[in-house]
Structure 1
Amino acid sequence: MPMLDVYIPDGALGPGAEAALVDRLTEILIRHEGFDPADPATRAVSWVFVHRPAAVHVGGAPADAPRYKVVPSVPEGQLDEQGRAGVVAEVTEAVLDAEEGAWPRDPGRVWVFPTEVPEGHWGGRGRITPLAAILTRLTGHDARRAGTLAARRIAASRAARSRVPRGFTG
């Protein structure tokens, strides 16, 4: 159940290209979370908020080509290191494809910030939804298995965040 904030400058994409991009971004996130992108129930809880910056500046001057920012938010434990890297790569390609050659193909114009919402902080419908509840659909509605899977994913996510980043010389 991803939530996406997508910043697309005014006029950067045609209406058809933008609609196709939003659909593709939704599919990418759902797939990386481990769900079926074709499932209507999963798509119904996958929201995209399109933000329209009137202007984007680089180094204090108006940008010479569109710049994009995509912030996919998922419950803690839904994206491991490989999943985050896959999301960044696929979202970047999807945005550049959506331009349909109107601008030079430059991945440096697309920034993607996958964000995990800590366990106990994913709220909607007036309540907090723990990861185990979200994962029950992946386990055939086996609550015990979903709880075990959620605990394993959250523990792995926290362990990964506590490691020293590669290349860090501190």
Structure 2
Amino acid sequence: MPLPFLTADRELADRAAESAALPYDEPDHWRRPYRPGPWRVGAAAVFLLLASFVLLSAMIIAMAGSPPGALTVAAVGALAIAFALRLLRVGVWVSAQGLRQVHLLRTTTEPWHAIASVRTRQQPVRWLGLPRTVQGQALIVERRQGAPLRALVTDHSGDFLTRPAAFERATDVLEAWAAEYRP
């Protein structure tokens, strides 16, 4: 069933993204220049659903009279919620200070003056982050000193699988940020 209010919102966001490469009034705030993809949002929703069942079982265990067991199960539910929220934050974030790559367990931040180039190239990429590789496009950031960063964005990641136009738009915006703030 089509939801017209979602379609209109998406069209407005697409028009704003096309009208300006850097459509933000406050460049000092960290922001992701693209929306999380349906695969990433779906996985987070599954973990939140699982967390709701785990927390419901913690409540039942607490009412049955086993507080230590209930606390253990509630902690597992809280970890599932934290994992789902972190999964939604995974991606590339930009600001006037630099470029930030957020992973599940670590975050890498590079200031703009330490980045030599930001470009898209064809290479083998991981499909949905799994060990299987396929031929695809990746956004590569080369540092002035040291090894290049891992591929920031790929067209087969959880954000851009089956959305090639969104991948092109996101890489264009990231390259525009680099052109604007890299010395």
TM-score normalised per structure 1: 0.27
TM-score normalised per structure 2: 0.26
Q: Pick the structure with more helix per residue.
A: 2
- Relative contact order higher in (CA < 8 Å, ≥ 6 apart): 1
- Greater radius of gyration (CA): 2
